[in-house]
Amino acid sequence: MERRNRIILETVRDMLGRGDVRQAVRTVADLYSADTAEVLFGLGIAGEVEVLLGMEPRAAARAMFEMDEAHQVDVAQRLGTVELRGLLESMPVDEAVDLLGDIPESRRETLLRLFGREEAEELERLLAYSDDTAGGLMTPEYISVSPEATAQEVIGLLRGVSPEVETIYYVYVTSGEGRLGGVLSLRELIVSPPGRRVSEMIGPEVITVSPATDQEEVAEFISKYDLLAVPVTDDSGRMLGIVTVDDVMDVIGDEVEEDIMRFAGATGPEEEPPGRLFAGLGRRIPWFVLTVAIEILLVGGILKLYSPVFSTFIVLVFFIPLLVTMGGNIAVQSSTVVGRWLASGLPLQRTAVKAILGEVVWGVLVGLLTGVIVATLSFLFHLGESIGVVVGISLALTVIAASLVGCVLPVTLKALNRDPGVVSGPLLGTIMDVISLAIYLGIGTLLI
């Protein structure tokens, strides 16, 4: 917490200690919403709820919007049903739906009964969509106009628009049945003559997503086409809502965290409920079991198979850590680079060719360089010409193989419409242990 907010936090704590809740409310209400949420969190749950209840509902809703999702639920559970309903009404619809979806079902039903029939039906319809889809991200609040409206009429409509509408930068052109016919930007409206009809300003192509589209794919659409919002339509082309860029920014952050945790062979916080020490054990155990099985069955088998080589040339054992470490590190690096390319939104064929060629060329150069260095050191330390040649060639081939494995696995998963993020670092390292030992001992058997 920055110094200014720490000072404000101590001031608010002092006010609450004196029983001056009204002044505490005034103090936090004058802050930006993100700062308000930060200060409230520092008060502890009891003080936080006390101040929130004293705030104007819209300001309190904005502060809750800035809170961590799990903490939002904790605060909501401390609020009375009527107070929580007031906050939900003041939130953007998509945020209200997210919070409603996280609280216990029995309380959710009680809250929904406090809303009007139309509002309750709209919330229930949105709650039916999964959180990680376009339907779960979208808001039904957008601006739509008839294709026969003029630029002047649309600008007049925008002047009187409700502040609850999330974005006014796009105007959606719909027919009487609600079918989306085009999208109009605010810039096009401003530069058009007042009497020009909307139908003359819209282009033939409209980028849309379905409510079942995965949130990561929605983020790719918005990033690829530089959109501020993307419309969500049903199978018949009727407008259901929009997903805005601010929602997508949260998604990108969540997906990056999830991919990092997966790559480490672990899980994200959302997959391991807090307070349950062994909650993620079932998710992590398979990686360890798979690693142990591969190491014992394959690596152990290879070492046993080539044991006569070691009994004759024991010096070969000293280079095993170098081979397996180098192979694992190079595979992880190549997989990371290719994963970045795959996340760029470029077509798979172009991405695969460019990424794999680049990594393989890099692997060949690094492999040759490190192989020559190791072979030279072997000669300098008088380990024998044959040992130097074996280690040098094996290291060069291991680096090349590692770059190929690190490229091919994520590209293959992407081609199969699977998430490339499931390629974990521990699994790559284990695969390369097997490959590097097979290369090393195979070369040793052939040349010694």
Answer yes or no: is pLDDT of 273 > 80.
no
* DSSP-derived secondary structure for 396-422: HHHHHHHHHHHHHHHHHHHHTT--GGG
Token readout for 278 is 């062994």
- In which band, very low, low, confident or very high, does the pLDDT at 276 lie, cut at 50, 70 and 90? very low
Could you tell me where the beta strands, DSSP code E, fall in 95-228?
144-145, 170-174, 180-185
The DSSP result for 339-370, as a single string, is HHHHTTT--HHHHHHHHHHHHHHHHHHHHHHH
- Per the CB < 8 A criterion, the answer to whether 52 and 24 are in contact is no
CB atoms < 10 A from the CB of 425, how many? 19
User: pLDDT tens digits, residue range 354-364?
Assistant: 666 776 777 67
- Mapping DSSP onto H, E and C, the string for 153-171 reads HHHHHHHCCCCCCCCCCEE
Identity of residue 320: I
- Domains in the chain: ranges and CATH: 3-128 (1.25.60.10), 144-251 (3.10.580.10), 281-447 (1.10.357.20)
- Weakest mean pLDDT among 155-164, 256-265, 334-343, 413-422: 256-265
Size of the chain, expressed as the number of residues it contains = 448
Q: Tokens representing 369?
A: 């360089």
Torsion, Cα 430 431 432 438, to 10 degrees, reads: 110
pLDDT tens digit sequence for 92-109: 888 889 899 988 888 999
**Is pLDDT larger for residue 320 or for residue 227?**
227
How confident is the model over 22-39, as pLDDT tens digits? 999 999 988 989 899 999
- Residue 424 neighbours by CB under 8 Å, 6+ apart: 262, 263, 264, 265, 287
| pTM more than 0.85 | no
Q: Is pLDDT at 436 greater than 60 in this prediction?
A: yes
Helix (H, G, I), strand (E, B) or coil at 32: coil
Compute the average pLDDT of residues 72-96.
Answer: 89
